[in-house]
Amino acid sequence: MKQPRKVVREIPPRKPASTPESTLDEADVPKRTDGPSHEQIARRANELYLERGQMEGHDVEDWLRAENELTMGRG
Does the predicted TM-score (pTM) go above 0.75? no
Q: What is the pLDDT of residue 4?
A: 72
Distance from C-alpha of 25 to C-alpha of 6, rounded to nearest angstrom: 45
Smallest Cα–Cα separation from 62: which of 48, 72, 75? 48
pLDDT tens per residue, range 3-47: 777 767 777 777 766 555 556 566 666 665 678 999 999 999 999
Q: 3-state class of 58 per DSSP? A: coil
Q: Could you read off the pLDDT of 58-74 as tens digits, one per residue?
A: 999 999 999 999 999 86
3 state SS of 13: coil
pLDDT of residue 21: 56
